[in-house]
Amino acid sequence: MTVRDVKELLEAEVLCGEDRLDEEICGCFASDFMSDILAFARDQNLLITGMLNPQVIRTAEMVDMPFIVFVRGKVPNEQMIELAEESGMVLLASRFRMYSACGILFMHDPNTKPCKTLYSDQK
């Protein structure tokens, strides 16, 4: 799945980073708690959040997540977009709520396993 696929699936607007839309998504983390992102995000380059302040950009940068989708119709201000542009990040804005956005991406992720397999993996 590429960033462009995410944009299309979530009917998102591209706010910056148009030149990186063909890059691959290797994993996704969704949260509004910055400390949880810092603690638990590993080898994931897509962040889904409804939080809207410059700390989101800095947090994502700290854990090497260059792609961010803002959900719930939230649109970052110019300061945030400039900060992201300085770091070469891609910002997307989607009207979907976080639960729906995660569900849509999960359903379309070619690596998603059927639920039965997921359950058997846990045993």
Partner 1 sequence: MQDIVFRSEVDGNDYQRAGEASRHTKSALKRLGLPPEIIRRVGVCMYEGEINMVIHADGGTATLTVGIDKIVIELKDHGPGIPDIDLAMQEGWSTANTEAQTLGFGAGMGLPNMKRSSDEFKIDTVVGEGTTVTMTIYIK
Give the separation between CA 88 and CA 103, rounded to whole angstroms: 27
CB of 71 to partner 1, least distance (A): 14
Counting contacts by CB under 8 A, is residue 35 touching partner 1? yes
Counting contacts by CB under 8 A, is residue 59 touching partner 1? yes
CB of 25 to partner 1, least distance (A): 18
Using an 8 Å Cβ cutoff, are 69 and 94 in contact?
Answer: yes
Give the separation between CA 122 and CA 60, rounded to whole angstroms: 29
CB of 27 to partner 1, least distance (A): 14
Q: In this chain, which of 3, 10, 16, 34 binds partner 1, going by CB under 8 A?
A: 34
Q: 3-state class of 70 per DSSP? A: strand
Counting contacts by CB under 8 A, is residue 60 touching partner 1? no
CB of 117 to partner 1, least distance (A): 30
- Strand 90-93 relative to strand 46-49, pairing: unpaired
Give the separation between CA 24 and CA 118, rounded to whole angstroms: 23
Residues in contact with partner 1 by the rule CB under 8 A: 32-36, 38-39, 51, 53-56, 58-59, 61-64, 87
